[in-house]
Amino acid sequence: MRLKLVPVALAAALAISLLGATSASAATEFGTNCTANRAEESPYTVIQLAQNGGQTVAPSSGVVTKWKIRLIPAPVFLPQQLKIFRPTASPTQFQVVGESAMSNVGGGENVFTTRIPIQAGDRLGLFGFGTPYGALFCQGPETENPGNSIGFILGNPTTGTTAAVAGVETEALVPVSATIEPDADADGFGDETQDACPQSAATQVACPPVALSTSKQIRKGSVTIVVTSSTAAPVTVKGVASLGKGKKAKLNGGTQNLVPGALSKFTLRFTKGLKNKLKELPPKQSVRLNVTVAGTSVAGAVTTKTLKLKLKGQAKD
């Protein structure tokens, strides 16, 4: 049984704004911004099946971080719950893949935060709990288009279940719009407002910087640098030795992906020029070797540590 919430005269003033992707940010808003003026008798769930010229299905995958619903001025608060539906092989059956907390909807615009993963192609719906008013929907002069239709599902299907559409109402809309934010690291948190480190699923606070600890082992023909990193990070070790008269020897220890807390060895092998220089110098003299250890965090911030080593001459007396 469908229940009117307002007289027909007020329903005629129903305003509808069909939403598509916004260009101001990476977030995307889709759905319907109509003002609810009717409700399906509880317990029913409504699902948007089609809307003329609007965005019926999610245009992208990510996380729903916010949903909006408008209700005509009314001295009531109606409990409503956002549902995310995914199509199945059957055109009349949909899987519930997510739902918000139950929220009290009052007259005017209502905005609620949530965190629901969503895939491109998913649809929006509403469950309403109460007597006699249940799930809200819009129906009136501004929705009178055969391209608009909503489906009615008996009961309150929960996440993970599949529900069948028991009835269809044409020239009607579900009064819900949702904001989808990207989820680059697939951690279930929206990258713009819920995740301060979208480059890593390991944390949602600010991406931690890389802290490096080092030690050295100097041998006759090489230097080994032992590195420990505080976080998983690619670390590169390089060295430059001054050979005098503007000449330099460049040593490359390579790049390794370090595991937090594990010891990793980087070997800087001496070039032919550096070996010859050391053979010319007595043990009391040395060649200066500057070693740079650089680690890059998941956010792209580079931590650099410089070691200044002295390589003793190797000339025999």
Is 27 found in the same domain as 172?
yes
Select from 55, 46, 47, 57 the least CA-distant residue to 18.
55
Domains of the chain: total:
2
Is 165 found in the same domain as 226?
no
Is 47 part of any domain?
yes
> Which of 53-57, 191-195, 204-208, 289-293 shows the lowest per-residue confidence on average (mean pLDDT)?
53-57
Is 203 part of any domain?
no
pTM across the whole model: 0.79
Is 244 part of any domain?
yes
Arithmetic mean of pLDDT, 13-26: 46
Residue-number span of the structural domain to which 289 is assigned: 212-312
Is 10 found in the same domain as 137?
yes
Residue 316: pLDDT band with limits 50, 70, 90: confident
How high is the pLDDT of residue 304?
97
Is 114 part of any domain?
yes
Q: Which CATH number does the domain housing residue 306 bear?
A: 2.60.40.10
pLDDT for 43-100, tens place per residue? 899 999 999 988 899 999 999 999 999 999 988 899 999 999 999 999 999 999 999 9
Is 52 found in the same domain as 118?
yes
pLDDT for 278-291, tens place per residue? 999 999 999 999 99
Q: Which CATH number does the domain housing residue 129 bear?
A: 2.60.120
How high is the pLDDT of residue 292?
98
What is the percentage of the chain residues whose pLDDT exceeds 70?
91
pLDDT for 143-168, tens place per residue? 988 899 999 999 999 999 999 999 99
Is 289 found in the same domain as 221?
yes
Is 201 part of any domain?
no
What is the CB neighbour count within 10 angstroms for residue 88? Answer: 13
Is 269 part of any domain?
yes
Cα–Cα distances in angstroms (integers) from residue 253 to residues 53, 199, 220, 235, in the given order:
59, 27, 16, 10
Those residues whose C-beta lies under 8 Å from the C-beta of residue 19, and which sit 6 or more positions away, are: 29, 30, 31, 32, 33, 54, 55, 177
Is 37 part of any domain?
yes
Is 224 found in the same domain as 177?
no
How high is the pLDDT of residue 19?
53
Q: Pick from 181, 204, 224: which residue ends a domain?
A: 181
Is 120 found in the same domain as 59?
yes
Is 239 found in the same domain as 98?
no
Is 27 found in the same domain as 174?
yes
